[in-house]
Amino acid sequence: MGTSWSLALAGDRQAGGSDDARERVRATLRQVVAESSLWEGGSEISRFNRAAAGTRQPLSEGFRTVVEAALHLAEASEGAFDPTLGALSEHWGFGPAGERPFPTETAPHAAGRWRELRLTDGALLQPGGVRLDLNGIAKGQAVDRVAESLLEAGHRHFLIGIGGEYRGEGVRPDGQPWWVDVEQPPGSAFPPLRLALAGLAVATSGDYRRAQFHGGRRFSHSLDPATGRPIENRVASVAVLGASAMIADAEATAITVLGPDKGLRWASGRGLAAHLILREESGFRERLTPALTAMLG
């Protein structure tokens, strides 16, 4: 899925050791890739995207879980998080085919096609031409699933990270919580946002990770479903702290798309612990939701 994973493990002797933990991580990630990776032609998401209109595809338990969460967050964010942007992402060069000549015009795009999806009796209806893209939530789900697998095996103290998503359980060998420094955009002078992950996860979204440059301008990989174009709203980075990496992943994407003011209001209204960094003419500006301010003391 275009990224790497890391695991820090402590106190694992009664749980079978680090070899057991590594294999659990690999097995879980193989399953997530088989479900949600657009880079695998035989994955569940790829098969759904190729399916004929009117067909229903039975979903595995893991894929059903992430699709249900994606549709819930699409509804909650009024479409700012949209899991049906696969074709649009490909058009702008952010899909599995990779970069392509910069588009001279915006692709024909119908916003809100996630509303046409019907998930009933464990099967998902393909209404015709809908191409899912779960890259804004699948990495977070992978973090949660790895964490749950490790907990089931008796591992109690670990930090798992995939890309910019992390979840910590228990404590480090020195009794300290798992401290994570949230990545800052290049050029930002802010000190790293340091978080203690003890039964918590953090997910980040940033325009500096994947972007195209054309005519001296930066075009973010985050797409605005309302316009069918890369966002241009000054949001450089968003981090969300919560119990679930999967949900925080989608929430960070939604805030990024909603923009500085609406995104902050949406996050604050939901009681989210969120951190935003905005691009300004004079540099960068930092904004925190009340929930995160309270957590940081």
pLDDT digits (tens, 9 = 90+) for 30-41: 999 999 999 999
Strand partners, 6: 161
pLDDT score recorded for residue 246: 98
pLDDT at 221: 80
- The chain-wide mean pLDDT, for the chain, equals 90
Position with higher pLDDT, 263 vs 217: 263
pLDDT digits (tens, 9 = 90+) for 128-154: 999 999 999 999 999 999 999 999 999
> What is the reported pLDDT for 57?
96
CATH architecture of 1-297: Roll (3.10)
User: Is the pLDDT score of 207 beyond 80?
Assistant: no
Confidence grade of residue 1 (pLDDT, cut at 50, 70, 90): confident
Write out pLDDT tens, residues 80-127.
Answer: 999 999 999 888 888 887 766 777 677 777 788 999 999 999 999 999
Per-residue pLDDT at 104: 65
Give the start-to-end residue ranges of the domains of the chain: 1-297
Give the per-residue pLDDT at 296: 87
Average pLDDT over residues 268-275: 98
**Short-list 80, 72, 83, CA closest to 36:** 83
The percentage of the chain sitting over the pLDDT mark of 90, rounded to a whole number, equals 71
Q: What 3-state DSSP class applies to 297?
A: coil
Burial label, 216 (beta-carbon count in 10 A; 0-12, 13-18, 19+): exposed
CB 111 within 8 A of CB 46: no
